[in-house]
């Protein structure tokens, strides 16, 4: 089996340079778009908040440790990132029904409404950005981007020594449904 170094020399260096450059430009433009707001309502949400709210919406109430494990981040990071969401009423913090000492995090009705606003705005942005693309092109791009994210996650997991998790999310983290 070829090593990473062997695979790099087998591939077209010019293509790899173009790919890494486009990924860097994509990351910058995605952040600029987020900071500038998207859609008619100019809804914007911090990436960490968006991913946390999505996870709670998809998987339901859960403890800090379960949320951290599912997202591939440290429990202390989840606690720090959830605090402003609790303060603003987007997430409810309750006691575990079986172990009153444990905390359960749950998406509040206000949090769900806010998440839906942001999702709607982001869907509008995706429609605008991919205007003129065919359905097949959108599906192909989504498939390849998912594959790329999964490969990044697996690579990060291998380097961190924690199979299936990364500092940015699980290797199998799925797109939100709505």
R_g over Cα of the chain: 19
- Residue 176 inside a domain? The answer is no
Structural domain contains residue 111:
yes
Structure tokens at 127: 């429609």
**Angle 140-141-147 (CA atoms, 0-180°, nearest 5)?**
90
Residue 144 lies in a domain: no
Is 100 within the bounds of a domain? yes
Question: Does residue 167 form part of some domain?
Answer: no
67 contacts 52 by C-beta, under 8 angstroms: yes
pTM attached to this predicted model: 0.73
Distance separating alpha carbons of residues 74 and 1, to the nearest angstrom: 33
Number of domain units in the chain: 1
The total of other beta-carbon atoms located within 10 Å of residue 140's CB is 12
User: Is residue 159 domain-resident?
Assistant: no
Look up the domain containing 42 and give its range. Answer: 14-134
List the CATH number of the domain containing 18: 1.10.10.10
Helix (H, G, I), strand (E, B) or coil at 30: helix
Give domain status of residue 94, yes or no: yes
Token pair 């905390």: residue: 103
Which letter does DSSP use for residue 173 in this model? P
Per-residue pLDDT in tens (0 to 9) along the chain, 178 residues: 455 555 555 788 999 999 999 999 998 888 777 766 544 445 678 889 999 999 999 999 999 999 998 888 899 999 999 999 999 999 999 887 777 778 899 999 999 999 999 999 889 889 999 999 999 999 999 999 999 999 988 888 787 665 444 444 443 454 554 4
169 falls within a domain:
no
């Amino acid at each position: 089996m070829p090593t990473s170094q062997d695979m790099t020399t087998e591939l077209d260096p010019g293509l790899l340079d173009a790919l890494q450059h486009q990924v860097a430009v994509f990351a910058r433009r995605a952040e600029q778009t987020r900071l500038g707001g998207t859609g008619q309502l100019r809804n914007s949400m911090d990436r960490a908040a968006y991913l946390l709210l999505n996870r709670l919406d998809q998987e339901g109430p859960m403890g800090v440790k379960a949320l951290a494990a599912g997202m591939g981040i440290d429990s202390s990071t989840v606690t720090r990132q959830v605090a402003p969401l609790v303060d603003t009423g987007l997430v409810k913090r309750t006691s575990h029904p079986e172990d009153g000492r444990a905390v359960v995090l749950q998406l509040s009705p206000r949090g769900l409404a806010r998440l839906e606003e942001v999702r709607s705005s982001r869907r509008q942005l995706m429609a605008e950005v991919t205007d003129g693309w065919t359905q097949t092109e959108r599906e192909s791009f989504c498939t390849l981007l998912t594959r790329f994210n999964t490969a990044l996650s697996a690579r990060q997991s291998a380097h961190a020594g924690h199979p299936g998790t990364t500092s940015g999310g699980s290797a199998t983290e799925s797109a939100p449904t709505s």
